[in-house]
């Protein structure tokens, strides 16, 4: 069983309305509902705070989050689009009823609920608008997130002229198939991030990406390779190695995006040089030593 809670909040009692959060949330819900072949993917629940009549309180959001993460399922996914507030190491998802910046749903509570979940895989996708500084690093993420948790986080300054979120647009495009699927036609969070990284300009800020998983986490299947004779990765304990990126430039982008514990992150295990390459490297070293001795 795969379950998803999708929340998009446009209406706020004390803040300017957003113009696209609910529409972005609905696009995410629609793409997650079915695989590419039309079969059921996630059972989705949508919280749409589109106007005053549909305002969403912090209590309502927390109850829905508890319902998502306390039930026994294979994968639980939480997506949020709306305002957020951050100060130093604290963060809050702002809901419609918030009177103060720190009235919303604490990120500490969100992460704690996810950590305690019985779900094998816990995926959190945050698309946040804010008016101040944000958490710039996830260097202590390994202390915050337990095994099985994946975080994909975008934050940017509120812009009244914005009509859609580019972050969510890229997430949906990736899930539709723009992201490179693996041999079994499955799109994983790392593949979605890699797609974003390839599209964004060099000067553009990357979303924050962190995962603490040992097995394949599939968001959506777009095709099935009927001719593949390989064993499906879900049968392997070290499956994450199937997801490594071989491009050094992409690897640097992941490092620049505050990906923590890179050495332990099995998705991006560097390829070992071939025997011939090691031989020529060794001969090159000997040649340099010989030249230095001659001089």
> Which tops the pLDDT comparison, 264 or 129?
129
Return d(Cα 60, Cα 12) in angstroms, integer: 14
Return d(Cα 228, Cα 141) in angstroms, integer: 37
The pLDDT of residue 17 is 92
> Which tops the pLDDT comparison, 162 or 256?
162
Q: What rounded mean pLDDT belongs to the chain?
A: 78
* pLDDT tens-digit series, residues 48-74: 999 999 999 999 999 999 999 998 899
**CA separation, residue 207 to residues 4, 90, 139 (Å):** 21, 18, 15
Return d(Cα 150, Cα 216) in angstroms, integer: 11
The pLDDT of residue 269 is 33
> Which tops the pLDDT comparison, 83 or 133?
83
* Four-residue CA torsion sign, 40, 43, 49, 55: positive
The pLDDT of residue 110 is 94
Q: Report the Cα 183 to chain-centroid distance in Å.
A: 21
The pLDDT of residue 278 is 52
Return d(Cα 203, Cα 206) in angstroms, integer: 9
Could you tell me the pLDDT band of residue 161, with boundaries at 50, 70 and 90? confident
Is the pLDDT at 268 greater than 70? The verdict is no
Tokens of 200: 């964004």
Closest residue by Cα to residue 92 from 128, 63, 68, 144 = 128
Is the pLDDT at 265 greater than 60? The verdict is no
The label of the residue with tokens 């996810």 reads 114
- Phi, psi (deg, nearest 5) at residue 100: -120, 165
Pinpoint the alpha helices (H) of the chain: 21-33, 58-70, 107-115, 141-144, 166-173, 189-199, 248-256, 275-294
Range in 56-65, 233-242, 280-289 the model is least confident about: 233-242
Return d(Cα 128, Cα 255) in angstroms, integer: 22
The pLDDT of residue 90 is 78
The pLDDT of residue 27 is 96
Return d(Cα 208, Cα 259) in angstroms, integer: 7
Return d(Cα 68, Cα 5) in angstroms, integer: 7
Interval 60-89 mean pLDDT: 92
- Phi, psi (deg, nearest 5) at residue 256: -70, -20
Range in 49-63, 238-252, 272-286 the model is least confident about: 238-252
127 - beta bridge partners?
81, 154
61 in Cβ contact with 93 (< 8 Å): yes
Return d(Cα 295, Cα 293) in angstroms, integer: 5
The pLDDT of residue 254 is 34
Is the pLDDT at 292 greater than 70? The verdict is no
């Amino acid at each position: 069983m795969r379950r998803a809670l999708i929340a998009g909040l446009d209406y706020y009692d004390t803040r300017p309305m957003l113009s696209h959060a609910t529409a972005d949330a609905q696009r995410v819900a629609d793409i997650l509902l079915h695989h590419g072949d039309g079969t059921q993917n996630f059972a989705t629940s949508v919280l749409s705070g589109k106007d005053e009549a549909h305002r969403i309180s912090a209590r309502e959001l927390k109850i829905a989050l508890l319902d998502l993460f306390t039930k026994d399922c294979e994968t639980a996914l939480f997506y949020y689009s709306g305002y957020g507030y951050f100060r130093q190491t604290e963060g809050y998802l702002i809901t419609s009823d918030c009177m103060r910046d720190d009235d919303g749903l604490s990120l500490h509570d969100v992460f704690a609920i996810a950590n305690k979940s019985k779900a094998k895989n816990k995926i959190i996708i945050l698309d946040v608008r804010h008016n101040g500084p944000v958490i710039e690093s996830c260097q202590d993420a390994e202390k915050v997130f337990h095994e099985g948790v994946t975080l994909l986080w975008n934050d940017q300054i509120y812009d009244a002229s914005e009509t859609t979120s580019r972050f969510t647009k890229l997430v949906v495009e990736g899930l539709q198939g723009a992201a490179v699927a693996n041999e079994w036609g499955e799109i994983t969070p790392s593949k979605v991030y890699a797609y974003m990284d390839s599209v964004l300009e060099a000067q553009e800020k990357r979303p924050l990406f962190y995962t603490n998983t040992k097995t394949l986490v599939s968001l959506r299947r777009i095709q099935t390779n009927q001719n593949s004779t390989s064993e499906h990765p879900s049968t392997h304990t070290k499956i994450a190695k199937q997801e490594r990126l071989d491009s050094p430039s992409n690897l640097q982008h992941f490092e620049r995006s505050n990906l923590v514990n890179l050495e332990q992150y099995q998705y991006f295990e560097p390829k070992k040089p071939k025997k011939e390459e090691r031989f020529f490297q060794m001969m090159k070293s000997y040649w340099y030593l010989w030249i230095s001795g001659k001089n």
